[in-house]
């Protein structure tokens, strides 16, 4: 049975088709690039409304199937921007009703982890999920994916994006900052903030912007932001590893494509004789295949959702979700 997954928690629309065995038959996405400023929830919703039908058609064409051959619809229920989530849920319900197939609503963060496990072969990792909207260290413990550490304010990707925007580097900031950092000549001291298992990036952002206004070079700042922020991420991941005694690390989310972060995390893993895993880049950021694959897992273990249970959950916590397939692998 084929599952078509629709993603749209933030500004990227994604559609993917995945079969029961976990073969990804298609993966189509379209990001909304704002002309200036940040992402407006309503604009994200309009973007999804415009792109979902087109991406669905393209995904079917890529997979070589007709829409009528889809047996299950999966969509991201949350966490995310309200208007964006509602557009995705409406599209998913309409599709499920018109095709007369079952529907499941799934947790976006767990989607990142499950596509990571599927594409890397990691079985039970400590996951570092870093994106524009989320920064969490997650591991399976006592029946659930638990959040062992997270940002207390903004996500690391959001911090990179805000710095880039305020310094005229455009959006998204992550890739530009990564390139600039390669040309740096010196490290500029910035606030390093780890509180127990949690981290904070807003002080670092403010300090970096002040130094930029005071004339510090953008290359040096980009480098220093990366070194400081990524060291914080590596430290909390290392702590979660020690606490959970797991022997695998999975890096996922849009920021995971950053080479420097990858190298730092890989080095820490080597020191601890722990496996380091990272999905191929096309599965790091938000995508429809992760929603389709998680849909397959949820449907297999829990069955379909009743239509009245397909409401969106803006603050859908990772540890609210039952993950019976993990309990089974634990047994």
Beta partners for residue 327, in sequence order: none
Question: What part of residues 259-298 is at the interface with Fe ion (CB under 5 A)?
Answer: 286
Say whether residue 131 binds Fe ion (CB under 5 A): yes
Q: CA dihedral defined by 120, 147, 197, 267, rounded to 10 degrees?
A: 0
Q: Which is nearer to ligand ATP, 22 or 175 (CB)?
A: 175
Considering only CA atoms, which of 153, 261, 166, 244 is closest in space to residue 210? Answer: 166
Which residues make up the interface to ligand ATP (CB under 6 A)? Answer: 9-12, 131-134, 157, 160-161, 172-175, 178, 253-255, 257-258, 285-286
Question: Least distance (Å) from Fe ion to the CB of residue 127?
Answer: 12
User: Quick one: what does residue 132 bind among ligand ATP, Fe ion, none, with the CB cut-off 5 to 8 Å set by partner type?
Assistant: ligand ATP
Say whether residue 161 binds Fe ion (CB under 5 A): no
Question: What part of residues 197-216 is at the interface with Fe ion (CB under 5 A)?
Answer: none
277 is in an annotated binding site: no
Question: Least distance (Å) from ligand ATP to the CB of residue 328?
Answer: 26
Say whether residue 114 binds Fe ion (CB under 5 A): no
286 is in an annotated binding site: yes
Measure the CA–CA gap between 157 and 174, rounded to whole angstroms: 7
Q: Is residue 190 a contact partner of residue 207, using CB atoms and an 8 Å limit?
A: yes
User: Quick one: what does residue 116 bind among ligand ATP, Fe ion, none, with the CB cut-off 5 to 8 Å set by partner type?
Assistant: none
Q: 289: which 2 tokens? A: 């295949």
178 is in an annotated binding site: yes
Rounded to the nearest 5°, which phi and psi values hold at 129? -105, 110
Which residue has the CB atom at the shortest distance from Fe ion?
286
User: Quick one: what does residue 10 bind among ligand ATP, Fe ion, none, with the CB cut-off 5 to 8 Å set by partner type?
Assistant: ligand ATP
Question: Least distance (Å) from ligand ATP to the CB of residue 94?
Answer: 23
Strand runs (DSSP E) across 131-209, as ranges? 135-141, 144-150, 194-195, 198-199
Measure the CA–CA gap between 19 and 226, rounded to whole angstroms: 38
Question: Least distance (Å) from ligand ATP to the CB of residue 128?
Answer: 13
- Give the contacts of 47 (CB within 8 A, at least 6 positions apart): 11, 13, 30, 32
| Segment holding 228, helix H or strand E | helix 218-244
Question: Least distance (Å) from Fe ion to the CB of residue 252?
Answer: 8
| Segment holding 42, helix H or strand E | helix 41-63
220 is in an annotated binding site: no
133 is in an annotated binding site: yes
329 is in an annotated binding site: no
Pairing of strands 248-252, 275-277: parallel
Q: Which is nearer to ligand ATP, 224 or 258 (CB)?
A: 258
Binding interface with Fe ion (CB under 5 A): 131, 286
């Amino acid at each position: 049975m084929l599952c078509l997954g629709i993603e749209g928690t933030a500004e990227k629309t994604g559609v993917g088709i995945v079969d029961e065995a976990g073969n990804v038959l298609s993966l189509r996405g379209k990001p909304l690039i704002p002309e200036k400023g940040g992402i407006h929830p309503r604009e994200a919703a309009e973007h999804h409304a415009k792109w979902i039908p087109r991406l669905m058609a393209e995904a079917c064409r890529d997979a070589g199937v007709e829409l009528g051959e889809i047996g299950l619809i999966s969509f991201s229920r949350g966490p995310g921007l309200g208007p964006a989530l509602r557009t995705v849920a409406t599209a998913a319900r309409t599709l499920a009703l018109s095709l007369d197939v079952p529907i499941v609503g799934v947790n976006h963060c767990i989607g990142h982890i499950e596509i990571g496990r599927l594409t890397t072969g990691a079985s039970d990792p400590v996951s570092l999920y870093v994106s524009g909207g989320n920064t969490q260290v997650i591991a399976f413990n006592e029946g659930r994916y638990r959040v062992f550490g997270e940002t207390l304010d903004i996500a690391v990707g959001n911090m990179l994006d805000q710095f880039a925007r305020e310094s005229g580097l455009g959006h998204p900031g992550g890739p530009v900052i990564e390139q600039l950092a390669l040309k740096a000549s010196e490290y500029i001291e910035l606030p390093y903030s780890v509180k127990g298992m949690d981290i904070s990036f807003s002080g670092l952002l403010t300090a970096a912007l002040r130094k930029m206004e005071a004339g510090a070079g953008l290359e040096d700042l980009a480098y220093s932001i990366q070194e400081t922020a990524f060291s914080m991420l590596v430290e909390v991941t290392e702590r979660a590893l020690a606490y959970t005694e797991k022997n695998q690390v999975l890096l996922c989310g849009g920021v995971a494509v950053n080479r420097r972060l990858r190298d730092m995390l890989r080095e820490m893993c080597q020191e601890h004789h722990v496996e380091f895993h990272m999905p191929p880049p096309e599965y790091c950021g938000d995508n429809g295949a992760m929603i389709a694959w998680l849909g397959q897992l949820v449907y297999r273990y829990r069955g379909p959702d009743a239509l009245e249970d397909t409401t969106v959950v803006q603050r859908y916590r990772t540890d609210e979700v039952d993950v019976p397939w993990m309990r089974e692998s634990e047994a």
